[in-house]
Amino acid sequence: MKLIRTIKEIQSIVESYRQQGKIVGFVPTMGCFHEGHLSLMRIARKGADVVVVSIYVNPTQFDPGEDFESYPRQFERDEKLAEQERVDILFYPSDKEMYPKGYLTYVTVNKITKVLCGVSRPHHFEGVTTICTKLFHVVKPHFAVFGQKDAQQAIVIQRMVEDLNFDMEIVVGPIIREKDGLAMSSRNKYLSPEERKDALSLFQSLQLAERLITEGERTSKDILSAMKKLVASRKGTRIDYIEIVDATTLKALETIKGEVLIALAVFVGNTRLIDNIVVNC
């Protein structure tokens, strides 16, 4: 596995692979790998001749007061794990490399970035779309793999790639969970043992919604109130949002119909966790 730290170097190496007719698959990450990240690398490995993984804790996608400084970083461990997954190129740029002095350009996707996570994280998606644009230009992959864990992110990136005519595909991998159902996340590290138990209420509430829908319930209001009640029954939780929306437009749905995204963000102690499911009715 090659470790590359500069844009110039990765551009020239990927260019030479492309000229040889090789398919380049890309997995952008913020590091601190868990099985969720590794599952995306495996998806990339299956479809690509050359797998590029980036590790970059992107400052512009953290809102003021969020955990940019304390975000877990463990490069050496990540490097070993990437090697085990037969990643070909690990791209690990510095802040100076990605946002040199005088940097002024941002990419904005409207509407679908203003709902769900966009309400409490008003700058987050602009940071994500900007860094992904830069990384896509630098890495020039044929496809990039994102996780369904960050459902809104995947939808926003898909929109951007289509709107701005990026010549690449976006592939979305399923959510990888712990045995008890908690969605894997680098931020799970922040949880105390007590909070770890409270965090189970996120997936439990999604399972409850799924069960209610299977039993025939179609009124979002009633499903949401049952979900909120379940999450709130854990003392250490504070709901940021729980919503039922159309899986493409992210518009709130009064009635469950079509492809529906049930998404939530909940603070467990000071840690903000997200999770979701998609149901088809």
Q: Is 208 in the site for ligand AMP (CB under 6 A)?
A: no
Q: Is 277 in the site for ligand AMP (CB under 6 A)?
A: no
CB 125 within 8 A of CB 109: yes
What is the Cβ-side half-sphere exposure of residue 90, based on CA atoms within 13 angstroms? 21
* Residue with Cβ nearer ligand AMP (16 or 270): 270
Q: Which residues of 205-240 are buried (b: 16+ CB within 10 A; e: fewer)?
A: bbebbeebbeeeeeebeebbeebeebbeebebbebb
Q: Which residues contact 82 (CB under 8 A, 6 or more apart)?
A: 1, 33, 41, 53, 90
Closest contact distance (angstroms) between CB of 219 and ligand AMP is: 30
| CA distances from residue 231 to 28, 40, 91, 218, 264 in whole angstroms, order as listed | 31, 29, 39, 20, 10
Q: Is 170 in the site for ligand AMP (CB under 6 A)?
A: no
Sign of the alpha-carbon dihedral angle for 11, 155, 32, 173? negative
Secondary element (H or E) of residue 49: none
Q: Is 237 in the site for ligand AMP (CB under 6 A)?
A: no
Closest contact distance (angstroms) between CB of 198 and ligand AMP is: 18
Show the binding pattern over residues 40-79: x = contacts ligand AMP (CB under 6 A), - = does not: x---------------------------------------
Q: Is 186 in the site for ligand AMP (CB under 6 A)?
A: yes
Q: Is 150 in the site for ligand AMP (CB under 6 A)?
A: yes
Closest contact distance (angstroms) between CB of 183 and ligand AMP is: 5
Pick one of 134, 140, 149, 272: the residue that binds ligand AMP (CB under 6 A).
149
Give how many residues touch ligand AMP by CB under 6 A.
17
CB 57 within 8 A of CB 31: yes
Return the SS3 of 71: coil
Catalytic residue among 34, 37, 123, 142: 37
Question: Which among 42-50, 72-80, 169-177, 244-252 is the span making contact with ligand AMP, rule CB under 6 A?
Answer: 169-177
Is 37 assigned a catalytic role?
yes
- Planar angle of CA 125, 127, 129, nearest 5 degrees: 65
Q: Which residues are catalytic?
A: 37
Per CB under 6 A, residues contacting ligand AMP are 29-30, 36-37, 39-40, 146-147, 149-150, 173, 175-176, 183-186
